[in-house]
Every structure is written in C-alpha cells, then in structure tokens.
Amino acid sequence: MMNDTFLKACRGEKTDYTPIWMMRQAGRYLPEYQAVRGNVTFLELCKNPDLCVEVTLQPIDLLNMDAAILFSDILIPMEAMGTPLEFHEGRGPIFPKPIRNQADLDRLHVPDPDEETGFVMDTIRLLRKELSVPLIGFAGAPFTLATYLIEGGSSKMFWETKKMMFTAPELFHAMMEKITECTSLYLQAQARAGAQALQIFDSWAGVLAPCDFEEFALPYVKRIIADLNDTGLPIIYFANNGATLLDLSVSSGADVIGLDWRINIGDAIKRVGNKAVQGNIDPFSLLLPEPKLKKRIQGILDGAKDAHGHIFNLGHGINQFTPPAQAKLAVELVHELSGR
Amino acid sequence: MMNDTFLKACRGEKTDYTPIWMMRQAGRYLPEYQAVRGNVTFLELCKNPDLCVEVTLQPIDLLNMDAAILFSDILIPMEAMGTPLEFHEGRGPIFPKPIRNQADLDRLHVPDPDEETGFVMDTIRLLRKELSVPLIGFAGAPFTLATYLIEGGSSKMFWETKKMMFTAPELFHAMMEKITECTSLYLQAQARAGAQALQIFDSWAGVLAPCDFEEFALPYVKRIIADLNDTGLPIIYFANNGATLLDLSVSSGADVIGLDWRINIGDAIKRVGNKAVQGNIDPFSLLLPEPKLKKRIQGILDGAKDAHGHIFNLGHGINQFTPPAQAKLAVELVHELSGR
C-alpha cells in the first residue's frame, strides 16, 4: 500500500493531510546513520547501494516521513565527468583540480549515467522494492555544480565563479552546457530506474543578482526540465536563498517550487501562483519547545492554505546537531495539525 | 566647498547627479591601504586616528567618491564591552571567550564611548577638518554584533545564535538589550564628534526568517534609530541579504534603506516607498569589461529613477581582489551616466 500523499501534493491535488519530508533527512543527526557511516568513508557510502538503501530508509522508519530521498551527493556525477573528488571531515567537498580554463574543461566528459554512476541507479531499483512512500531522486542544478568545479569546493564569496562569468562568459557557458548535458542524462536515468519525483538543488543560486541568474543559470535548469517532460514525473526546483528569483524560478517549468526559510510562505505563494510549493520552516527552529514549535508549524500551514499543493519541509537541510526527537515531533505536529 | 550631493540624496532631495560611495571603500583592494596596513596589525590600525584618517581619505582622493566612511570595524565597541577580540590573517575576527550564558553576559559592561573608544571620535574630528565630502559614521546592528559574540567569530550557519534564540530567548533578549545600549551611545557619540550620516550594518540579518527578524532583531534597531532622532542625521539601515525583510526594514525608522545586489532595484523601490535607497550592484560585477559595466550601471540608474533619493553603492563590500582601476571606472560611469 503506497502512501501517495506527497505525489498528490506535487501535482496540486487535494490531500487528506500535508505530507512532510526533510532535506538531508538521511544524515548525520541520526545516530543510526552515524553507525553506518562509522565504518566507511562518505564516498564509499555513496557508492554502496546496500548501505545507501539502509540510510535512505532510516528516517522513513524512525520519523514517519511521507517521502524518501535517495541518499547520495550532488557531486557524484561531477566526479564521473572526470574531476577527482575528495571529502575531508569537517571541510566539505574538495576538487583538487578546479576547472578554470578551456583545457580544464576539455578534460571533462559527459558520462553514461547507467555505466558510470550505476550504483545510484541500483540504489533506486533496490529502494523501490522496500519503500511504501514515494522515492525522490535528485541532482544539483548546473550553476551550483559549476561553482564547486570552479572554486574547487565550497565557497563563501564565489569570486572565481563570478570572475569567469564576468570576464570569460563563453568559457562559463561552455562549461554550463557540458554540466547540463550530464545532469539531464543523469536525471533521466534516475527516472528510468524508478525515481517517482525529481528535485533539482540550486544551493547557490541565491548568490546571483536576478539578471545574472536569468542569463547564467536559469536557461540550463529550463533545458533539463524540458528534457524530463516525457518522464511525467513531478519536478521540484529549489533555489536556495532565492526569494528574489521566485518569479524566474516559476518560469523554469518545475511543478513544485522549493522555498527556503527566509520568505513568509504566504507571500511566496502569492508570487508562485498555480504551482505547488515545498517548505519552509527554519531548520534550526526545530529546537523550539513544543508549544512554540506547534505555533510555528501552524503558522506555516495557515500561510500555505491557499497553495496549489503544499509539501511541508525545512527551508534548508536538517542540521547535524538537531535532536532526532525534535525532528520526530515536527513530523507528528505537521500530521496532527493538518488533519492526518 | 562641501560636496553635499550624498546628504541631499539621503534626504530625498533632488540632486544634480547620483552620488556614489562603496562599502569597504577604504580597504584591501587599494595598494595604498596595503602600504599603511603592512606596518601595523588590523586592530592597531583601527585604534590609530592618524592612520584611520589616512586610509579613510584614500578612496576619496584616488577614486572620487561622494562620501567618506570612517575607517573602523563594527566589533570595536564589542571589544570595549569587555570581550577580548583577535583578528588573524585570513580567518576573520575571533572572540576567544564567546558569550553563551548569563555569567558570560554579566562580564560585559556598557562602555562610555568617548572614554573607551575615544580613538574613533578623534578620527571623526580629524576627518571633518580634511574632508570635502560628507563623513559617514557607522555601527553594527545588535543582531549582527550578537552573532559574533555568541558564535565566537564569523559563522556560516549561526547554530549557537539560533540555539540561544530558540531555547533561551530571555538570555538572548538580555544580551540584545546590553548591545543595543552600547550601540546607541556609540552612535550618539559619533554624531557629537561630527559624523554627518550614520549607517547601521546588519550584515547577518538575512539569516533570519521574517518572523524571527521581527521578534529578535528589528525592535533593537528601531530603538537605536529613535535614540538618534535628536541628532537630525540621516540614518542608513543595511540589512544584508534582506530582500524578504524590506517591509520590516522600512519600519525601522531609517531614512535610507541599503539594498544588497540580490534584488532588482526597481522592485525594491516599489516596496520601500517614500524612502531613499542605497545600492546595489554586485561588487564582483565591477570585473565586467567597460561596455557591459556601463550597461549594468545604466540599468541600476534606470531602475532607481523613481526613487525618493538614490545613493549608488555596491550591494556588499568591495572585494579585495577588485582592480582599483575598475572601481574608478565605475565611479566615473555613475557620474557620467547620471549627469555630472
């Protein structure tokens, strides 16, 4: 018996209650995840379908989420393009050979997703046998992926990325073309393997002025979503810190617009119009004592009452220091207050 | 002969052209600044009025800015409250003893700004003798200052700050009270010393959901601005990454609303209404080749044509790697395109 509340909300259909899942719900805040992760490196975990299945299922079983999201990392297909990728504890991802010129870019190839990231597709196939909630596949958006390749890892200011955009736009666009082709094929493969919805994470879109987002980032998101049209799957586009990019995000063609916590959800829904929304509680507000957490969740549910579909979520990934009991309480409150 | 274009724009009066200055205009991108800084530590520089005067004047003389901003750091009054402050190259500010409980907070005192930060007031008095453009004084906003004290320095996620807000709100508010009193007195002293406008930098306001900004940050900004009412000076409030906080920011009582680069300036002006605005080109877009930079500046000037006063600025501090010639070009273009 499949719980399809999440999929109905994605399509803007009436649901009996508001479905909830949390970005990074399979992650470090769960002792059960830490136990698995203790025996392997992060990349070994990402490439081991049995372990990926195990950690993907944990928040469904423990916290009663209404959707599962494939355990993986947005940089997995970038490594498959031919850029060595390292994860060091507490430092985030590192690309020791950043992509900064045409010769660097020429070294990258567009991988066959089934061949070169087959472990992801295996994970999806295995998960579908186990799950009684829908499975979300995902990828990073091209701009966000490009920042990691250009900066050589995480960044605070994105100087190298913007330097390339502003002083070598042809090179930047050529890079975006290649990443877009890779990402489009990667998501199509996830759809074939059995993903039931697809989320595109544009974690760093919010560092762009709207005019630059429109010129350098949005066209590539649009192309990927158009390529996925035949799959019939709902597409969620999440431009983090993207309050000023909302109107443009709506034009991406996505079915669901992800909202970070910085915007009042009612204000966002007025601008999103006839699309479903996903979000948007501040992940750190899960720390609130129960009466205040309840009030805050009620406020978001009230704000979203006129949405054409609402999937409750955090406005960003769950923080590693969040007590799992508080995450569980939030799930219960969303269910209870929305009429489950 | 005083160039008062900046002050007129702050007050929403007609100006012959659009005045421009740049946040962090006295800073590391200038070789002339590096030469001064090479002989002293950052804190030594901040506490030496003669050197502060020298670096404050550099961008006025070299780049023809229409306003000067006092060279200092927002954390100077926090150190005066009794928290040891360190700056390490490339790491940003460090408070080795973060403020996390009532006992920590009790250690802080509200300093007499003329006694304990007299070097700032001396700098202002000296600058007023030298300058032919208006002098902007400044302080950090209480929320932003609190994040540094609580986190012990810069932060990416602000976990400790939000943990205190959400689990110990009385302690958080008590801390904000104390910081607010310090900041209010500090800005009043700058006004007495001769500052001609005052900017309040809320660098981290943008990490707050609007409901939390309204509860935990805005009331303290309002109080400071009310306390400054008798000075008659224009007050600029800059909530960085604050697109979703604009309506609330307008209610702060500030005369000028600073805008970061993430928002289209025309959209912002519609929401700001009868206030002057300051901003908002992406600092990294100063790298654009001249024809594109010109087009971008023209776009911002066009977007601001209905503003009740517009001060051209960057949407954030100038980046240390910006070629000074490009900053100079931007100043020339703003002047030329706006009719100087």
CA B109 to chain centroid: 24
- Most B CBs within 10 A among A158, A259, A262, hence the mutation to make, goes to A262
- The overall pTM is greater than 0.90: yes
**Contact (CB, 8 A) for B52 and B44:** no
C-alpha B136/C-alpha B128 separation (Å) is 10
Q: Do B157 and A319 touch (CB under 8 A)?
A: yes
pLDDT tens digits, one per residue of A235-259: 999 999 999 999 999 999 999 999 9
pLDDT tens digits, one per residue of B212-230: 999 999 999 999 999 999 9
**Contact (CB, 8 A) for A337 and A304:** no
Average pLDDT on B113-125 reads 98
Token pair for residue B35? 């030469």
Contacts A321 to B, Cβ<8 Å: 159
Judged against a pLDDT cut of 90, whether residue B340 lies above it is answered with no
pLDDT at residue A265 in the model: 98
pLDDT band at B264 (very low <50, low <70, confident <90, very high): very high
pLDDT at residue A38 in the model: 95
To the nearest whole Å, the CA of B201 is away from the closest chain A CA by 18
Judged against a pLDDT cut of 90, whether residue B2 lies above it is answered with no
Q: Do B209 and A267 touch (CB under 8 A)?
A: no
Orientation angle between helical segments B49-63 and B324-337, nearest 10 degrees: 60
**Nearest residue on chain B to A285, judged by CA atoms?**
B166
For residue A302, what are the domain limits?
5-337
Taking the Cβ of residue B300 and every Cβ of chain A, the question of whether any pair is shorter than 8 Å is answered with no
DSSP category for residue A95: -
To the nearest whole Å, the CA of B62 is away from the closest chain A CA by 24
Share of chain B above pLDDT 90, in %: 97
Q: Residue B337 falls within a domain, yes or no? A: no
pLDDT at residue B40 in the model: 97
Q: Do B209 and A319 touch (CB under 8 A)?
A: no
Which regions of chain A does DSSP assign to beta strands (E)? 68-69, 86-88, 92-94, 135-140, 197-202, 235-239, 256-258, 276-281, 310-314
Contacts A158 to B, Cβ<8 Å: 284
* Helical residues (DSSP H) of chain B, grouped into ranges: 5-10, 31-37, 42-46, 49-63, 76-80, 102-107, 113-116, 118-130, 142-151, 159-167, 169-193, 210-212, 218-227, 246-250, 265-272, 290-303, 324-337
To the nearest whole Å, the CA of B22 is away from the closest chain A CA by 17
pLDDT at residue B89 in the model: 81
Query: Is A340 among the catalytic positions?
Result: no
Taking the Cβ of residue B167 and every Cβ of chain A, the question of whether any pair is shorter than 8 Å is answered with yes
Judged against a pLDDT cut of 80, whether residue B290 lies above it is answered with yes
Roughly how many angstroms between the first and final C-alpha of chain A, as a whole number? 17
β B276-281/B310-314 pair status = parallel
**Nearest residue on chain A to B160, judged by CA atoms?**
A284
Share of chain A above pLDDT 90, in %: 97
Query: Is A28 among the catalytic positions?
Result: yes
- The SS3 call for residue B288 is coil
Q: Residue B7 falls within a domain, yes or no? A: no
Judged against a pLDDT cut of 80, whether residue A134 lies above it is answered with yes
Give me the number of domains chain A comprises: 1
Query: Is A114 among the catalytic positions?
Result: no
Average pLDDT on B148-175 reads 97
Kind and range of the H or E run holding A225 = helix A218-227
Q: Residue B301 falls within a domain, yes or no? A: no
Cis, bond preceding A229 (omega within 30 deg of 0): no
pLDDT tens digits, one per residue of A63-107: 999 999 999 999 999 999 999 999 988 788 999 999 999 999 999
Q: Give the torsion sign (CA, A257, A261, A266, A271).
A: negative
- Give me the catalytic one of A4, A73, A255, A260: A73
Q: Do A244 and B261 touch (CB under 8 A)?
A: no
Judged against a pLDDT cut of 80, whether residue B147 lies above it is answered with yes
Average pLDDT on B251-265 reads 98
pLDDT band at A2 (very low <50, low <70, confident <90, very high): confident
DSSP assignments along A129-184, one per residue: HH-SS-EEEEEE-HHHHHHHHHHTB--SS-HHHHHHHHH-HHHHHHHHHHHHHHHH
Question: Which position has the token pair 């404050």?
Answer: B56
Q: Residue B57 falls within a domain, yes or no? A: yes
Q: Do A209 and B282 touch (CB under 8 A)?
A: yes
pLDDT at residue B263 in the model: 98
**Contact (CB, 8 A) for B277 and B307:** yes
Lowest mean pLDDT among A127-136, B89-98, B253-262: B89-98
**Contact (CB, 8 A) for A28 and A96:** no
Q: Residue B340 falls within a domain, yes or no? A: no
Q: What is the CATH number of the domain that holds B144?
A: 3.20.20.210
Q: Write phi, then psi, for B322 (nearest 5 degrees).
A: -70, 125
C-alpha B236/C-alpha B198 separation (Å) is 6
To the nearest whole Å, the CA of A192 is away from the closest chain B CA by 37
Q: Do A163 and B284 touch (CB under 8 A)?
A: yes
What's the mean pLDDT when you consider all of chain A?
A: 97
Q: Residue B292 falls within a domain, yes or no? A: no
Q: Do B212 and A289 touch (CB under 8 A)?
A: no
Q: Do B159 and A319 touch (CB under 8 A)?
A: yes
Taking the Cβ of residue B163 and every Cβ of chain A, the question of whether any pair is shorter than 8 Å is answered with yes
Amino acid at B204: W
Amino acid at B84: P
Residues of B acting as catalytic residues:
24, 28, 37, 73, 148
pLDDT at residue B221 in the model: 98
Q: Residue B269 falls within a domain, yes or no? A: yes
- Give exposure, B54-90, as e/b (b: 16+ Cβ within 10 Å): bbbbbbbebbebbbbbbbbbbbbbbbbbebebebeee
Judged against a pLDDT cut of 90, whether residue A143 lies above it is answered with yes
pLDDT band at B139 (very low <50, low <70, confident <90, very high): very high
